[in-house]
Amino acid sequence: MTAFATLPPPLQPGDRLAVAFPSGVLRQREPFWQGVACWQAQGYEVIVDEAAFAGWGYLAGSDQQRRDRLRHLLQDDSIKGILCGRGGFGATRLLEQWQWPAVSPKWLIGFSDITALLWSYAAQGVAGVHGPVLTTLAAEPLWSQQRLFDLVRGKPLEPLLGTGWGGGVVQGRLLVGNLTVATHLLATPDCPPFENVILALEDVGEAPYCIDRRLTQWRRSGVLHQIKGIALGRFSRCEDPTTQPNFRVVEVLGDRLGDLGIPIVSDLPFGHEGVNAALPVGVAAELDGDRGSLRVSL
């Protein structure tokens, strides 16, 4: 993925959007239907296939069922966007026997485990959206919901603001994703090249030593010496008060990343269990480590 990815055509009122569960089985229906209602209120027709609710263990159906569903939605010219119902686990399993069909680009929206698909999609030159899934959308503040709707309509986005660690200003390709999922893409055929990349990461429910382990893997792989900057979102429930002595997750991030000599911005409003501001994956972006801002170019 050496070139910037391109956004699909802007959505128009009345466009048809379809629901997919590429990863985990749906566990809570009420927030899911609330998320569907958010899209419907924007004037879109949302297609929900009840068969997608069928599960296979912790997965939303067998690999082949989920793979076939995703391929069908991509090949259906009447569908302009794919809304992922939730994360969980399973998207990386789909990539084992997967080839993106040669079809017109359409929106793919999700985060967490959907990272695997978003990075693979960007490698095909199409920018998906790292943003709320249907089970989390209704809980987003209105400005975050509006940011997502503005993005899919082709409107400019305000920069996200966080805490700058210094390092100046860089431009590059924005790769946004979950740290744990992205770590398991390293050294696989689905791992993208990282030259000219601004890496944006978040995570949830991982103890500080687990974050340390993953970032150490990134360091040992050589990847962190290739990228141009790092944008850090929320690392929610990543403290472990049961183990003493311990590090706080912010200390782990500082220790494992602070010596790279590149611009870094932390505390950006994206990730789990809080505001998850939408960001396109694979597009041109600017990271200002001094002012603490992340700006995308649409």
Cα dist. 145→33, 134, 150, 216 in Å? 15, 11, 9, 35
Q: What Rg do the C-alpha atoms of the chain give, in angstroms? A: 18
pLDDT at 246: 87
Pick from 35, 86, 30: nearest CA to 58: 86
Residue type at 251? Answer: E
pLDDT at 44: 98
CB 128 within 8 A of CB 118: yes
pLDDT at 233: 98
pLDDT at 1: 46
Task: Transcribe 183-243 into DSSP letters.
Answer: HTTTTSTTPPP-TTEEEEEEEES--HHHHHHHHHHHHHHTGGGT-SEEEEEEEET---TTS
| Extended strands (E) in the chain | 16-20, 45-47, 79-84, 107-110, 129-130, 160-161, 163-164, 169-178, 197-204, 229-236, 264-266, 279-280, 284-288, 293-296
* Residues of the chain where predicted confidence (pLDDT) is lower than 70: 1-2
Q: Which residues are catalytic?
A: 112, 202, 272
pLDDT at 221: 94
CB 114 within 8 A of CB 91: yes
pLDDT at 289: 98
pTM here is: 0.96
